[in-house]
Every structure is written in C-alpha cells, then in structure tokens.
Amino acid sequence: MQIFVVLRKISKEKNVMKQDIQRIMLAAAKPLFPIFILYILKIMEVGMDWDFSRLGVYPMEKRGLVGILTHPLIHSGFSHLLANTIPLFFLSWCLFYFYRGIAGKIFILIWLGGGLLTFLIGKPGWHIGASGLIYGLAFFLFFSGILRKYIPLIAISLLVTFLYGGIIWHMFPYFSPTNMSWEGHLSGGIMGTLCAFVFVNHGPQRPEPFADEMEEEENTEEETTAAEEEETL
C-alpha cells in the first residue's frame, strides 16, 4: 500500500516539475519576441540609413503622440539597445513567470502609461528607448512583492533591489546626463508603482497559514484511500 502512495507522489512531482519547466520556457519566450523586434528595427535603421527617432515621444506636440506607442522600440544606437536588453529580458521574465495571470495587462499599462506621462511632463526633444519600460517593471516587481507579503515575491523584490537599485538616481535631473530622459525613467517608475497598488488583489497571493500542510495531508489521505481500493480490487 505504501509503495502505491510513494509511486503516486513521484509521478505527481514529475508532473509538477514538467509544468514548471514549461512555465519557465514560456515566460522566457514572451519577452524574447519584442526584443527580437527591437534588434530588427535597429538593423533596418542602420542598414537603410533611416532615422527612426521621430517615432519617439515629443512632449506636448501632435507629432510626438505616436511615440506613446512606439518609443520603447527605438534606440539611439546599438550600445543603447544592448544596455537595455538584459534588464528588459530579466525583468519581463520575472513578470511573466511570477505574475502570469496579470502580466500582459501590467506590461501594456506600463508601456503606454509611461509613454503618456512622458508626453505630459517631458522636456522638449525626442524621448526614445525601453528604459522607461525597464523602470516600470523594476518598480512593479519591487512594490508588488512587498505589498503582497508573499515570500517568493518578496525575494524577487530584494533581488531587483540588489541588481537595479542604483537606477533610481537616473530618475532625477541632477544625477542624469543631459542626453538621458530622466522624465521617461520617472514616468515608468510611477506607472510601475501605480500598477503594483492597483493590482495588489489580483494575481498571486500569499497562501493562508498552514494551507500547504492541510492540502498535503488531504492529498495523502486521498492517495492512501485510492491505493487501498486498488489493493482490494
């Protein structure tokens, strides 16, 4: 009888592991697609000698409205794009893995909301790059983990702080180079923080105390009963 219970547990653990691997791969695939688009656009821009900077946000002017949608896709050069690639991939992966039920909404809201806020508060000039999106993701992951008080998400909050805590200084004009859009960074950070508060009751939540132990006991009882029935048959 105990052998059947052990075999069932092993089979269940294998299925859980397979599902986790699938989730990891799927969460990685989702940010890879927009990153692929970023590189295609940059290669086209350089190869064809085009200038895509006009697809950025130009604050408070009609010509800059389209940039609310397109500005994260455009970068000043390959060095700018490369600097954004790893943090964009990692933070997006964290979002789609740990918050998969609401990740799409959060990603779009930070993308569009950050662009709109940059349009409203930015200094004259073309604001381009995915940096605002990166700031939004970092701030969402940090505050969301703290607000939910769920240990795995708090761990992500601490990891984001350790890896990217220093970016906060580039949200202020005094610490930012003149060619850097601190307004875009600030806008992304604000949107990420707002999303963390607005969606605090959606997505993953801290389980009730002892809920895991109770569920495990119930599953063990069910497995034992099933094993006894099979043995009887």
Q: Which two tokens stand for residue 65?
A: 């409205």
Q: How many CB atoms lie within 10 A of CB 18?
A: 10
**∠ at Cα 217 (212, 223), nearest 5°?**
125
**221: pLDDT confidence band, cut at 50, 70 and 90?**
low
C-alpha to C-alpha distance for 224 and 178, rounded to whole angstroms: 68
Task: Give the pLDDT confidence of 164-189 residue by residue, as tens digits.
Answer: 999 999 999 988 888 899 999 999 99
Averaged pLDDT of the chain: 87
Quick: pLDDT tens for 64-108.
999 999 999 999 999 999 999 999 999 999 999 999 999 999 999
More confident residue, 14 or 155: 155
Residue 231 has pLDDT above 80, yes or no: no
Residues 169 and 176: their CA atoms lie apart, in Å, by 7
What lies within 8 Å, CB to CB, of 80 at 6+ separation is 129
Cβ 115 vs Cβ 71: under 8 Å: yes
**Number of residues that this document lists for the chain:** 233
Token code pair at residue 5: 């219970």
Residue extents of the structural domains in the chain: 2-207
User: Which tokens hold the place of 150?
Assistant: 């769920």
Q: Which of 198, 215, 196 is closest to 207 using CA atoms? A: 215
Tell me the pLDDT band of 16, cut-offs 50, 70 and 90.
Answer: low
Topology given in CATH for the domain delimited by 2-207: Rhomboid-like fold (1.20.1540)
What number of other Cβ atoms are within 10 A of residue 144's Cβ? 28
* Amino acid residing at 6: V
How confident is residue 206, by pLDDT bands cut at 50, 70 and 90?
confident
pLDDT at site 230: 47
d(CA 52, CA 66): 12
Q: Which of 21, 49, 55, 24 is nearest to 37 (CA)?
A: 55
